[in-house]
């Protein structure tokens, strides 16, 4: 057998052994989230989980925007999403609250901001040891002046909304 033939047989044997080992569950497969790290308080983890579709979402309409908390039970993560800001929203902030006692007290995550007509999401935060999570947000808007149903400019100073939160959900 020539060298090329020996190489082919070695490669075939290595492939067969790898298949048997993987089939026996001796090697864990790597997903994008595993490669990025689980709930390491990074937006990359939230992005990887969202791209993989590895989450469920609780979404609520909050006046001039949508606010959602996304939860990945398999990764033990949760992150907040704010989207669909109306044109007169100047900016908005979103964060995640996590509670060990069902919402009596909570820990607030870092705040993520977005400007006019955009959307953004927070980093993914661990749900390990927490009984409930929610997404919260606040926005600043400009009141528009109109005449005969046509916008003619702005009216008054920008206004900041109350804080809005989704319902608490169990991760």
Query: What is d(CA 150, CA 132) in angstroms, rounded to the nearest whole number?
Result: 45
pLDDT for 87 equals 67
pLDDT for 118 equals 77
pLDDT for 97 equals 98
8 Å CB contact between 68 and 79: no
pLDDT for 157 equals 73
- Could you give the number of structural domains in the chain? 1
pLDDT for 5 equals 46
pLDDT for 144 equals 65
Averaged pLDDT, groups of 10, the chain, 171 residues long: 44 39 37 56 94 95 88 96 78 94 96 83 96 93 67 68 93 94
Question: Is there a domain that residue 97 lies in?
Answer: yes
| DSSP character at residue 157 | S
Question: Is there a domain that residue 49 lies in?
Answer: yes
Question: Is there a domain that residue 27 lies in?
Answer: no
pLDDT for 115 equals 76
Question: Is there a domain that residue 50 lies in?
Answer: yes
> Domain containing 80: what range?
32-165
Residue 26: which residues within 8 A CB-CB, separation 6 or more? none
pLDDT for 166 equals 96
Q: What is the pLDDT of residues 112-129, one digit of tens each?
A: 988 766 789 999 999 999
pLDDT for 91 equals 81
pTM of the model: 0.71
Question: Is there a domain that residue 6 lies in?
Answer: no
Q: What is the pLDDT of residues 23-33, one digit of tens each?
A: 333 333 344 44
Q: Which residues pair with 156 in a beta bridge?
A: none
């Amino acid at each position: 057998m020539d060298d090329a033939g020996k190489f082919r047989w070695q490669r075939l044997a290595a492939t067969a052994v790898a298949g048997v080992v993987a089939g026996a569950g001796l090697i864990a497969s790597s997903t994008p989230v595993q490669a990025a790290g689980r709930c390491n308080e990074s937006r990359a983890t939230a992005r990887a989980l969202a791209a993989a579709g590895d989450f469920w979402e609780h979404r609520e309409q909050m006046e001039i925007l949508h606010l959602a908390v996304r939860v990945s039970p398999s990764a033990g993560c949760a992150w907040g999403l704010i989207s669909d800001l109306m044109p007169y929203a100047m900016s908005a902030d979103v964060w995640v609250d996590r509670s060990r006692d069902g919402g009596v007290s909570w820990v607030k995550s870092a705040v993520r901001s977005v400007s006019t007509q955009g959307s953004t999401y927070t980093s993914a935060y661990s749900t390990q040891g927490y009984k409930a999570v929610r997404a919260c947000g606040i926005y600043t808007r400009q009141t528009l002046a109109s005449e005969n149903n046509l916008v003619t400019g702005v009216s008054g100073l920008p206004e900041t909304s109350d804080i809005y939160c989704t319902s608490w959900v169990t991760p």
